[in-house]
């Protein structure tokens, strides 16, 4: 495997990177850690005469809190996230999810932005961020827009980003009061074949809000409003209602046929993992309420 020749551009601002990408058009791609893009180029699956290296763009790095949300620069590596005291304090479940991505070699250079923008269906963060109600901050030249996480991925290896537009940061809101998150996933080889994140919020001990996001099975992560089936559920009936909700989720998915697993098996995994994620989220919400 040998990389074809290409020129590297090293912008130092988002505006400069955006301008370069717009000017160079289809001949160019952005990259940060390169764990996806350089591999795709080595395998002959992508070819670019110009690569725009984002590593020197300071505005894409770092984690800051606004009080209501945590702003995570797109070029933050998975390792920086899992080891950040600020991220661990803000959302321990997010830090824990990140620590399960790939292996330490990939996590040390691979970035959150690269993961989201590559939009491989078999991934963890997009699913988590949907259930957590996150937003993506995108910028093209001087124009900035905020895209809900549930709308960012539009297909396998496709996102809402326009040519010349960059993902600048992810905004992770604070978890609502008395809420908990559960994230579970399973992999057979390198990447997950099922990824489920549930968010459950309680009011007076009963479910007042619930979300279920399912990834790595469909072409794009599926966002299911679990509130309808779980609203009002409490300690006595949560298990039975979570079971029904998980069964509905298994019916709703349209499993990809890009692996060795049958659609029936994948649906079963969605059922089992949805149930588990909901149970974990409910337990975390109860802990947060006590």
CB neighbour class for 104 (10 Å; exposed up to 12, middle 13-18, buried from 19): exposed
**Tokens at 58, concatenated:** 């300071």
- Does residue number 191 form part of the binding site for ligand FAD (CB under 6 A)? yes
| Residue 192 is a binding residue for ligand FAD (CB under 6 A) | yes
Q: Are strands 63-65 and 153-155 parallel, antiparallel or unpaired?
A: unpaired
- Is 180 a binder of ligand FAD (CB under 6 A)? no
CB 180 within 8 A of CB 282: yes
Which tokens hold the place of 159? 């996102």
Residue of 18, 28, 36, 80 that binds ligand FAD (CB under 6 A): 36
Q: Does 281 sit near ligand FAD (CB under 6 A)? A: no
Q: Please pick, from the candidates 76, 84, 123, 178, the single residue that binds ligand FAD as defined by CB under 6 A.
A: 123
> Whose structure tokens read 């009002």?
232
- DSSP assignment of 119-130 equals T-SS-SHHHHHH
Question: 70: helix, coil or strand?
Answer: strand
The minimum distance between CB 12 and ligand FAD, in angstroms, equals 14
Asked if 11 touches ligand FAD (CB under 6 A), the answer is no
Give the residue among 18, 20, 6 at the shortest CA–CA distance from 48. Answer: 6
To the nearest whole angstrom, how small is the minimum distance from the Cβ of residue 248 to ligand FAD? 25
Q: Which residues does 249 contact at the CB level (< 8 Å), separation at least 6?
A: 196, 212, 214, 222, 224, 226, 270, 271, 274
Question: Taking the complex as a whole, how short is the minimal distance between the CB of residue 52 and ligand FAD, in angstroms?
Answer: 8
When binding is defined by CB under 6 A, the residue of 41, 72, 91, 117 that contacts ligand FAD is 117
Among the listed residues 113, 121, 182, 221, the single contact to ligand FAD using CB under 6 A: 113
CB of 128 to ligand FAD, least distance (A): 9
Assess 30 for contact with ligand FAD (CB under 6 A).
yes
DSSP state, residue 227: H
Of the candidates 28, 32, 207, 217, which one interacts with ligand FAD according to CB under 6 A?
32
Rounded least distance, CB 186 to ligand FAD, Å: 10
- For the chain, the distance separating the N- and C-terminal CA atoms, rounded to the nearest angstrom, is 56
- Among the residue ranges 106-114, 204-212, 217-225, 239-247, the one whose residues contact ligand FAD (CB under 6 A): 106-114
Residue nearest to ligand FAD (CB): 114
């Amino acid at each position: 495997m040998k990389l074809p020749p290409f020129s590297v551009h090293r912008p130092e601002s988002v505006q400069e990177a955006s301008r370069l990408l717009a000017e160079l058009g289809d001949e160019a791609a952005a990259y940060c850690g390169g764990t996806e893009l350089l591999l795709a180029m080595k395998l002959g699956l992508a070819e670019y005469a110009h690569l725009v290296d984002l590593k020197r763009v300071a505005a894409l790095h770092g984690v800051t809190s606004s009080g209501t949300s945590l702003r995570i620069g797109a070029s933050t590596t998975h390792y920086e996230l899992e080891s950040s005291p600020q991220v661990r304090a803000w959302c321990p479940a997010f830090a824990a999810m990140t620590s399960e991505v790939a292996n330490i070699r990939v996590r040390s250079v691979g970035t959150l932005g690269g993961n989201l923008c590559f939009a491989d269906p078999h991934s963890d963060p997009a699913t988590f961020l949907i259930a957590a109600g996150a937003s993506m901050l995108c910028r093209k030249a001087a124009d900035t827009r905020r895209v809900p996480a549930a709308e960012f991925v539009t297909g396998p290896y496709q996102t809402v980003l326009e040519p010349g537009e960059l993902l600048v940061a992810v905004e992770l809101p604070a978890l609502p009061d008395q809420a908990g998150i559960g994230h579970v996933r399973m992999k057979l080889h390198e990447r997950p074949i099922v990824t489920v994140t549930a968010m459950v919020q309680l009011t007076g001990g009963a479910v007042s809000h619930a979300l279920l996001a399912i990834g790595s099975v469909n072409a794009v992560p599926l966002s299911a409003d679990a509130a309808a089936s779980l609203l009002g559920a409490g300690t006595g009936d949560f298990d039975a209602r979570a079971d029904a909700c998980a069964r509905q989720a298994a019916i709703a998915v349209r499993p990809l046929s890009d692996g060795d697993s049958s659609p029936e098996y994948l649906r079963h995994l969605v059922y089992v993992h949805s149930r588990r994620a909901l149970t974990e989220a409910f337990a975390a919400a109860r802990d947060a309420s006590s």
